[in-house]
Amino acid sequence: MNLKYGDEYDLIIGLNKGDRRAFEILVHKYYTVLYLYALNLTKEKSVAEDLLQDVFLNIWARKGMLNISTSLKSFLYKSIYHEFVNHHRKKKKEMNYLDTLSTTALNAFFQEDTMQLESAIEKMKKEIETLPKKCKEVFILSKREGLTNEEISQYLKISIKTVEGHISNAFKTLREHLKKT
């Protein structure tokens, strides 16, 4: 097939007949302007090149079935635009999927972390319950109620050194018992 492709109509006829030369002329004639248009849409060289390649591959794949009712140039611009929209939708779906995946992973991580923390708190509460009565009372007033050593001393009518000793013993005992578990 050795047709002359002087105008768009002849080029479309050549493409519909599957003429490789018509396809080569199409690519050579429109590549640069379509690339610039795609680059303007995407702002990324590699994506613009991919869009252009997809459009040209689709045209070649549909040779013999091309139904172009407007000018060839308009058809090509619309094809680039539609390919860009499809790419954008696909990218948006992928981003949504990644967001969902990362949110799920973070929730699982925090849930596991929360469960570990709750477990550690339960162990700590059980160990506090095993402390001697006065030691437990001083420790709870200090750490749970937030009283100062002086306030505890006055409240329980014991020396500050005794308060400090009880707190120190409580920490030592808790450390030892919690290391074992």
Written as tens digits, the pLDDT of the chain (181 aa) is 444 666 888 888 888 888 899 999 999 999 999 999 999 999 999 999 999 999 999 999 988 788 887 888 999 999 999 999 988 888 888 787 777 777 777 777 777 777 777 787 888 888 888 889 999 999 889 888 888 999 999 999 999 899 999 988 888 888 887 777 6
In contact, 147 and 141? CB cutoff 8 Å = yes
Which CATH architecture best describes the domain 8-85?
Orthogonal Bundle (1.10)
pLDDT at 65: 83
125-134: long-range pairs with CB below 8 Å, 24+: 127/173, 127/174, 127/177, 127/178, 128/170, 128/174, 130/177, 131/170, 131/173, 131/174, 134/166
Q: What distance lies between CA 95 and its chain's CA centroid?
A: 6
pTM for the model stands at 0.53
Let me know: does 51 contact 82? Beta carbons within 8 Å. Answer: no
Fold of 130-180: Arc Repressor Mutant, subunit A (1.10.10)
Give the residue extent of every domain in the chain: 8-85, 130-180
**Is 34 within 8 Å of 80 (Cβ atoms)?**
yes
User: What is the pLDDT at residue 6?
Assistant: 66
